[in-house]
């Protein structure tokens, strides 16, 4: 049986598959050694969700573990409003909604539906500017795309000589000084 994919790694994989390797390599180290201020700010923004102290409303589920046996996914959601049946993914500041963000939210959706939750609406919430971006629940096309990315993740070979990096992404990567593909 294959290991489950961690939902947050979907965004990392879309950014750069090699970043997951470095993330796992450094997972036991003090994050202060390699996190940029963006990652530090994001982690701080998530503290209230992770500690389940964001909301005192009983109808708001915070930082719930989710899984999908069908897709082989595990992870956490940020918020789910039981009354409105709304799934909410929070980000520190959204300037652009990246493909990896969508895949994370779709993965959370499919996990929750498989677990028996009803989801009528979904959104991204940008904390810094308090903006909300509604996202329609995914359909069959989005599920197939998610399955393709999961398959690509499972078959990715770190040593593949045909790997091509995106120089713009490499420049922004917190691991770029460690990566032999970085040409900066």
pTM of the model: 0.82
- 146 neighbors 110 (Cβ within 8 angstroms): yes
Most confident of 43-47, 55-59, 136-140: 136-140
On the question of pLDDT at 166 being above 80, the answer is no
Q: Is the pLDDT of residue 100 over 90?
A: yes
Q: Which domains does the chain have, with CATH numbers?
A: 5-153+163-178 (3.90.320.10)
pLDDT tens across 7-23, in order?
999 998 998 888 888 77
CA dist., res. 113 & res. 139, Å (int): 12
What gap in Å lies between CA 57 and CA 123, rounded to an integer?
Answer: 19
pLDDT, position 52: 53
**Average pLDDT for 98-126:** 97
Quick check: 41 pLDDT over 70? no
**pLDDT, averaged across the chain:** 84
φ/ψ (deg, to 5) at 48: -70, -30
pLDDT attached to residue 97: 96
């Amino acid at each position: 049986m294959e290991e489950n994919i961690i939902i947050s790694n979907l965004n990392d994989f879309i950014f750069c598959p090699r970043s997951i390797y470095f993330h796992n390599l450094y997972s036991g180290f003090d994050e202060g050694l390699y996190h940029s201020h963006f990652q530090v700010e994001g982690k701080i923004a998530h503290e209230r969700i992770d500690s389940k102290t964001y909301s005192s409303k009983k109808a708001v589920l915070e930082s719930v573990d989710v899984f999908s046996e069908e897709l082989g996914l595990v992870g956490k959601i940020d918020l789910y409003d039981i009354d409105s049946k709304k799934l909410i993914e929070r980000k520190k500041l959204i300037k652009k909604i990246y493909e990896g963000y969508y895949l994370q939210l779709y993965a959370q959706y499919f996990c929750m539906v498989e677990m028996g939750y009803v989801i009528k609406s979904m959104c991204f919430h940008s904390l810094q500017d308090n903006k909300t971006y509604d996202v329609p629940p995914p359909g069959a096309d989005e599920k197939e795309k998610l399955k393709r990315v999961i398959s690509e993740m499972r078959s990715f070979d770190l040593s593949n000589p045909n790997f091509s990096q995106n120089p713009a992404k490499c420049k922004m990567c917190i691991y770029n000084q460690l990566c032999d593909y970085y040409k900066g």
